[in-house]
Each structure stands twice: as C-alpha cells, then as structure tokens.
Homo-oligomer: A and B are copies of this chain.
Amino acid sequence: MSTWSQAGPRSVSEHAAAVAALLPPTGTEPVALAAASGRVLAEDLTAGVALPPFDNSAMDGYAVRAADLAGASAESPVELPVAADIPAGRTDVPALAPGTVARIMTGAPVPEGADAIVPVEQTDAGPGGGLDRVRIHEAPQPGAFVRRAGEDAASGAVVLRAGTVLAAPQIGLAAAVGRAELPVRRRPHVLVLSTGSELVAPGGTLAPGQIYESNGTMLAVAVREAGATAEQLSFVPDDVERFRAVLAEKVGDGVDLVLTSGGVSAGAYEVVKDAMTGHGVEFGKVAMQPGGPQGCGRLELGGTEVATVTLPGNPVSSQVSFEVFVRPALRAAAGHPAPARPVVTARLSGTLSSPAGRRQFRRGLLDAAAGTVSEVGSTGSHLIAALARADCLIDLPADTTSVADGEQVAVWLLDAP
C-alpha cells in the first residue's frame, strides 16, 4: 500500500499537506472568560446588550437641558437648582424637570429630559457639596459629554467574528456584553512519544552510550505552545510489540494525534517504522534538511485508528520538522487565522551553501533592527545547544545551492506567536 518510498522524496509542501489532511477542524466547547486567553472564538459573538447599554455621562458634572443655559458664560453664569443626585449605578433615575439640573457622575445614566452634561469644571461646583444649587458658566451644546446608548455597538450587532484569537481586550468586550463564557474551538490533544533504548529520563544517571531524553519533553512543550494539549508518554524501549501495546492502551477518542520521534530512518532497529508499516502509516523521505526521514498516516490499532505523524529522532530534525509540518497543522485544526509562523526577509550575514534538491532550514539569529540574520551552529542535526540559541529558521529553497553575504533570505520567526 505504501507508494511514497517508491515514488521518491516528497517536497516539503507535499508532506505538509499530507500532515494537515490528518487533522480535521476541531469542534466547539464553552470556556469561562478567565480561561479564554489564546483560544479561538468558534462563533460570531453578538452583543446581548447595546454598548453602552444606556445614555450615560462622560464626565463628572451636571445633567442639564441645554436650552436652560443658552446664554450662560463666565460673565453671566446661570444658577439652577439641583433636583437630583445621580451616582453611577443608580437605577431609579427621575426625569429632569425644565429649569433644574441633576448632579451626575461619569458612567451614570443621563436622566430623561436632559440633553447635555456640563463638566463640574465649568461650574462653581455648588455650595455645600453641590446638591442644592449650582452656578454654570458655559453654555453647552446639545449632546455634549453624553455617551449615546449603542454608539460603540448596537444590541444584536456582531462584535467579534468567529476565528478571532481571544486576548484581554476581546475577553473584556465579551464581559461587557454580558457573556460569562464563550464558545471556542477545542484544542487538539496530542500523545507525544519518543523512542530509543539509549534514552534516560532527565534527572537520572547515564551509563556509557546513553543520553538524556529530550525530544519528548521538547515536543510536548512545543505542542502546548502551539495551542494544543499534550500528554507525554514515558519513552518506550525499541521493542515493537511493547510499543504497539502502549499505543493501543492510550489511544482513545480523546487523542487527535500521535506524535513520535525517532525510529523512522534506514537503520536496523526502527521501532516506529516496524510497528506502523502496513498499519496505515507511510514512511519515506522529504526533500529537506534536517528532517529527511518522515512518516504519517492513520495508524490502525486493533479496531481503532488515529492520526499519526512520525518525526525523525535527531533533536534538531525533530524540532524543525515539528515547526514545518505539525505546528501549522495543529493551529489550522484549532481554527487559528494565521497558523504559520510569520516569515520576513533579511540579509544574510556570512555565506551559506546548501545541497541541491533539498530545502534547508538553518538555525538563525535575527537582528531585526539591522535587517540581518546569521547562522547559529551548523547543519549538524544533533546541535541542540545551538538550536536553543536560535530565534528563527533560515528557509533556503530546494534549488538554492549557495547564498552570498548580504543576499536576501526568508526567515521564519520562532519567537512570534
């Protein structure tokens, strides 16, 4: 059933499309406002109330009928009786009779009959607290300092579109229209496994020939940073039967993706490949570097199947192919309007050579102010310390064999959302 390996290497975009096709759009779930940060709104949000809900005062001062103050000025102020006091939140506001004013606070409802607000600074603030009489020394325009009901949003208007990524201002707006929770796109759930008999959990003791497990930790964190959820499984030894058993036990309705690293190249002990070949997952080469050996498909496990992406085991290959294939697919599945990393162009500091026929992703450090990028480390896919100093990937097309100092290159920003 596997035709990929016979057909020869896939391009990066071909494999990206194959991975994306494994992850359909997620459904919708409600989430409380306090937990909605970073989530994607699943439905248009309509305002249940107008914003503002009622005409209210933009200033602390006096609600007036502008006609009563037609000639008011500093030279000939108009004194009027204060008929009411309206703090914010007053729910029983009386109508304003002609020839009277009401003291009013910012945000408080403008009484019926009033058509303007005079800021307290344009009055004498009245004797004895300003609740008896007040002298006003400017003539207001009708409508002055009145915030009209609905001038920010009409009741029933769409105030946020489905697909909006929610952050503090959008969540504040949802609260302002009375919503305690919002419908958001469910986050894909990813089961992360790394394989290799050489792996020891961080904190343990290494025997000669062993290394600390880092891919599983790194990928689980990267999955969460992509807005998905992750369960990291303790790495399983390079044993096919045990590997399938661990997977079968864990995979249920709640898992959207099984993500493995290691065990997919041409070696004699390739547990992932051995456990999945003939069970719905195809393996082959992608014309890229790092990250040539890849696999994906719908893994059949007894009566069930689950979307599966198998990344190579070298740490840099693993992380770079996560960035190129998995992260955008997860974000697209969760409805993110911009699933890919932002790409900018920068001038290369130094020179680079690259193999013909393979798209290369070099680790880079961007100097945004200078508009330049330089390589960090070199092409070795084991150079994880260098990877950790990089803030971008330099994307060299498959037909590029060399880049001169100062030439423009495309750069993927890794520290942007």
Contacts and interface: CB of A to CB of B under 8 A. Distances in A.
A397 to B, nearest CB: 21
Main secondary structure of the interface of A (DSSP, over half): loop
Contacts of A218: 168-169, 171-172, 175
A60 B268 contact: yes
Contacts of A167: 221, 225, 414-415
A386 B313 CA distance: 47
A153 interface: yes
Interface string A182-202: 000000000000001111011
Interface string A57-82: 01010000000000000000000000
Given A105-B267, A130-B268, 7 more contacts: A33-B221, A34-B221, A90-B209, A167-B221, A172-B214, A175-B202, A180-B201
A120 interface: yes
Interface stretch (A275-283, A352-360, A377-385): A377-385
Interface residues on A, range: 35 or more
A211 B53 contact: yes
Given A108-B198, A209-B93, A383-B152, A214 B313 contact: no
Contacts of A388: 159-160, 169-170, 172-173
10 smallest CB-CB distances across A and B, nearest first, come from A172-B218, A89-B198, A89-B197, A180-B203, A168-B222, A175-B214, A176-B214, A173-B388, A60-B267, A109-B209
